[in-house]
Amino acid sequence: MYYSFYNPPTVPYQNAVPRRAAFPLEDEGILVGCRVILAEAAHSVLSGLPIGRTPQFREMVVDPPLSSDSFGNHGWRLEQFIADEVLRCRQGRLFNEDDDADLHALLYAREAPIASLIYIAFDLPGD
């Protein structure tokens, strides 16, 4: 299981809340953006925080860094996670059967709602 965290394009970042305009993506690159980390790493950080407090960006750090970019200790960029980790079968789980017990439990047998779930299926040739 993984978590994705939505971050500003760069850090440090300062802006008024609520935002009045879109990020000026044409003028600046996205150095941080959405980051993906392993659930175990997120749980480790969250367990050290007071109950109910939202973690800050500087607290969501994984060691060793998951990627080689300048914010790699905050996880993989979403596009890097999909292209380099999932599609190359380094992360994720392959379910061979539609009726897999773990998959069924994850999707249908939960006792609480899932705040966000992304299910990605890749159909590959037999060989």
Euclidean distance between CA atoms 126 and 86, whole angstroms: 19
Each residue of 59-81: pLDDT tens digit? 989 888 888 888 999 999 988 89
At 68 the pLDDT is 86
| CA nearest to 85, candidates 37, 42, 119, 117 | 37
Average pLDDT over residues 19-32: 67
